[in-house]
Amino acid sequence: MADFQKKLLDIRDLTVQFDTDSGVVHAVNHLNMQLEEGKALGFVGETGAGKTTTALAILQLIQSPPGEITSGEIWFKGQNVREMTEAELRNMRGREIAMIFQDPMTSLNPIMTVEEQIMEMISLHSDLKGSEVRERALEMMRLVGIRPERAKDYPHQFSGGMRQRVGIAIALACKPSLLIADEPTTALDVTIQAQVLELIKDLQKQVKTSMLLITHDLGIVAETCDSVAIMYAGHLVEYADIQHLYGNPLHPYTQGLFNAVPDLESPITEKLAVIQGLPPDPTNLPRGCSFSPRCPYAQAECLEKPCGMREIEPGHFIDCYFPHQYEGGSRA
Amino acid sequence: MTGTIEKTDSIVEIKHLKKYFHVSGGKLHAVDDVTLSIPRGKTLGLVGESGCGKSTLGRVVIGLISATGGEIFFNGKDSLKYGPAERAQFRKHAQIVFQDPFSSLNPRMTVSQLIAEPMVINRAYSHRSELDHKVKKLMDTVGLAERLINSFPHELDGGRRQRIGIARALALDPEFIVLDEPVSALDVCIQAQILNLLGELKKERGYTYLFISHNLSVVRYVSDEIAVMYLGQVVEKADNLRLFQDPVHPYTQALLSAIPVARLNRKKGRILLEGDVPSPVNPPPGCRFAGRCAYRQDVCMKQTPELREIEPSHLVACHFARNLRPHA
């Protein structure tokens, strides 16, 4: 972690809470995570694990109240976004960090043509002027595979996959340094998902953007990312490059995730090995390791105090006292 | 179509089923001449992408929407010709779990009211205490904590909401359940729990499932047989293992290759289909997949291929099954 300069994004001890009627929701807890330039990081976890909250924290878009970043630093290109002025943030959003959302139907403006929406992004967040704006918009449309004659169409005239292409065109129009893709293909069919993922991968290389890919699908991560961060109940539990993570998943939760998801190459057993129980109530997280109530290997220590992230082999971090060899074998 | 249909004890037999919707541009062929059978106690997986007609098929089979043509035999009798009394019985025996647990539950009813509703409507219990007991038992069966009994759907996450949907479907002890994307809205761990639950119920109570899903990994896991739909038609049907080992229809091949697998050591090449699924409104004659097919020939654009048996219990609707060559 010494070569701090090379990190595009460096999140240190980030904690985000939401004050709700039912108590304080501990959405993200003491998160440490880095993303190198040009790399793609898969950010994996179930609903409520804190993935989207982290993304919004990076963009300083946590609505407050009820949300609040209670601790931590988010270094982006050597600058702590928590200390940026509103003007600096506006300049960063869209130009430096762009986002693709899960549902392109609700994230696009229904009464603007797709060309206008791409142009809006370009004129707000780049130095291009006049006809250059339209030219860039058309170039982006070509890049994502939307025919120019569709420029004047509205979002509802597009299929889900094509709409997501519009979302990608908007996000990448200003050649951002960081692309946050929040479940970009979850709403799409598999054959369309394959097209869109292929497109994102290609463009990520062409535009030389780093990517934080939020997903629940370890299959998508395997195909798209360089490293993986696994979140559980607002805590990062395992963090490694994909070779380590798929070759030797060590956190019991990560192992549970692999077991729970049948894939096309796993043997068909009578039962899936499930993680018993449910994620903890985020307003009342366990005192010890947040996974301990569901963990098959939990010991007394685990219930007392979380282990904290530790480097178990070079570049492979886990938050677990008693890592067990994964019985399911290597997937690398 | 298959000689084996008569021999097996099929709970559901669908023959030449058609469902067209009248839309402004013409007729939307949601289900177009589908013939399938589901053996008792087995699971038929029905897969396809959005708009292929799989949910419509499920709804027609369960009697929620009427058919345009064809026959659906339920326990040997054509359910499309039922009288009112028979239909009422049928509705108990055949249940459905919906895709979207947000819109399929009445937001103004509590968990206990929602689960009790089918039993109240059918006067299944004469005493309140029996009904309450059954509701709690069902909640336990589907993994809903008892403390949630007076919660409203909006207070629950999608997983718990879907459990309510499953509890409702189980309430009247059905024989046959249409599961319409039952785990698509759920987190992977919850998904695994629900799949196990559905598997246990099938084993213990002998349910027959029509499992509709776009997720082939899940379908592969739960199904005995799988039918692949494309634009209202079944393009391939085979035993579970055979379909994945030896997909014959070009669409099935592309679909299988598109699925991300959580492994790094995967060598299989990906077949990227061009473009989107065409409109099901007034589809042109010929194979519905031809426009996106890398192996199309002239005949594919003119003549609709029949679903034919290329090997025992492996059916494919392709003129050039086992004989694909790139189009000129």
pLDDT digits (tens, 9 = 90+) for A30-63: 999 999 998 999 999 988 889 999 999 999 999 9
Average pLDDT over residues A157-169: 87
Size of interface A-B (CB pairs under 8 A): 128
pLDDT at A207 over 90: no
DSSP tag of A93:
B
Has residue B115 got a pLDDT over 80? yes
Q: Do A47 and B192 touch (CB under 8 A)?
A: no
Residue range B248-304, pLDDT digits in tens? 999 999 999 988 888 887 766 788 887 777 888 888 889 999 989 999 999 999 999
Phi, psi of B176 (to 5 degrees): -130, 130
Q: What tokens appear for B41 in the block?
A: 């106690």
Give the pLDDT score at B18: 96
A183 touches chain B (CB under 8 A): no
The topology under which CATH files domain B10-260+268-316 is Rossmann fold (3.40.50)
% of chain B surpassing 90 pLDDT: 64
DSSP class per residue in A170-189: HHHTT--SEEEEESTTTTS-
Compute the distance between CA of residue B39 and CA of residue B204 in angstroms, rounded to an integer: 17
Q: Which residue has the higher pLDDT, A67 or B102?
A: A67
CB neighbours of B147 closer than 8 A, spacing ≥ 6?
Answer: none
- Show the 3-state SS of B168-205: HHHCCCCCEEEEECCCCCCCHHHHHHHHHHHHHHHHHH
CA distance B281 to chain A (A): 15
Is B261 near chain A, with CB under 8 Å? yes
* pLDDT above 60: residue A1: no
Q: Residue A225: what pLDDT?
A: 95
pTM score of the predicted model: 0.86
CB contact under 8 A, B258 and A274: no
Q: For B308, which DSSP code? A: E
Partners of residue A221 in chain B, C-beta under 8 Å: 262
User: Would you call B258 and A278 a contact, using CB atoms and an 8 Å cutoff?
Assistant: no
B265 interface with A at CB cutoff 8 Å: yes
Q: How far apart are CA A199 and CA A247, in angstroms?
A: 27
Residues 6+ apart with CB under 8 A from B95: B62, B168, B169, B170, B172, B174, B176, B177, B178
Query: Judged by CB atoms within 8 Å, which residues 228-247 of A form the interface with B?
Result: 242-243, 246-247
Average pLDDT, chain A: 90
Q: What amino acid occupies position A70?
A: T
> How many angstroms separate the CA of residue B171 from the nearest CA in chain A?
23
Chain A CB within 8 Å of residue B61 CB: no
Measured distance CA(B149)–CA(B37) in Å, rounded: 38
The C-alpha atoms of residue A30 and residue A36 are separated, in whole angstroms, by 20
Q: What is the pLDDT of residues A7-32, one digit of tens each?
A: 899 999 999 999 988 899 999 999 99
- Give me the pLDDT at residue B267, please: 64
Token pair of B190 as six digits:
């919850």
Report yes or no: A216 at the B interface, CB cutoff 8 Å: yes
**Minimum mean pLDDT among A188-197, B26-35, B64-73: which range?**
A188-197
The predicted-structure confidence for B203-252, as pLDDT tens digits, reads as follows: 988 999 999 998 888 999 999 999 999 999 999 999 999 999 999 999 99
Q: Give how far B260 is from chain A: nearest CA, Å.
A: 5
Q: What integer pLDDT is reported at residue B8 of this predicted model?
A: 56
For residues A191-220, average pLDDT: 89
> What's the confidence (pLDDT) of residue B4?
44
Is the predicted pLDDT of residue A68 greater than 70, yes or no?
A: yes
Indicate whether B192 pLDDT > 90. Answer: no
Is the pLDDT score of A205 beyond 80?
yes
E strands, B24-144, in order = 26-39, 43-47, 69-74, 77-78, 94-97
Calpha distance A232→A33 (Å, rounded): 14
d(CA B246, CA B253): 9
Return the closest-CA partner of residue A99 out of A52, A136, A44.
Answer: A52
Q: What is the mean pLDDT of residues A283-305?
A: 92
Any CB–CB contact under 8 A between A248 and chain B? no
Q: Report yes or no: B306 at the A interface, CB cutoff 8 Å.
A: no
Residue B159 has pLDDT above 70, yes or no: yes
pLDDT at A159: 81
From A189, A265, A275, residue closest to B261, measured CB to CB: A265
**pLDDT (tens digit per residue) in A102-154:** 877 788 999 999 999 999 999 999 888 889 999 999 999 988 888 888 999 99
Q: How confident is the model at residue B155 (pLDDT cuts 50, 70, 90)?
A: confident
Contact A264 B50 (CB under 8 A): no
Amino acid letter at B203?
K
pLDDT for position A237: 96
The predicted pLDDT at position B5 comes to 44
Residues 272 through 291 of chain A touching chain B, CB cutoff 8 Å: 272-275, 278
Neighboring chain A residues of B255 at a CB cutoff of 8 Å = 190-191
- For residue range A84-96, what is the model confidence (pLDDT) as tens digits? 999 999 989 989 9
Q: In this complex, is the C-beta atom of A47 within 8 Å of any C-beta atom belonging to chain B?
A: yes
- Tokens standing for A312? 């178990």
Q: What is the pLDDT of residue B22?
A: 93
Domain boundaries, given as residue ranges, for chain A: 243-332
pLDDT digits (tens, 9 = 90+) for A268-280: 887 888 888 778 8
**Which pLDDT belongs to residue B191?**
85
A193, A264, A331: best to mutate for the B interface, most B CBs within 10 A: A264
Whose structure tokens read 């007609």?
B53
Nearest CA in chain A to B224: A268
C-beta atoms of B188 and A46 within 8 A: yes
- Dihedral sign from CA coordinates of A327, B266, B46, B53: positive
Distance, in angstroms, between A78 CA and closest chain B CA?
33
Contact of A265 with chain B, judged by CB distance below 8 Å, is answered with yes
Mean pLDDT of chain B: 90
Answer for the pair A297, A258: CB distance below 8 angstroms, yes or no: no
Q: Which amino acid is at A319?
A: D
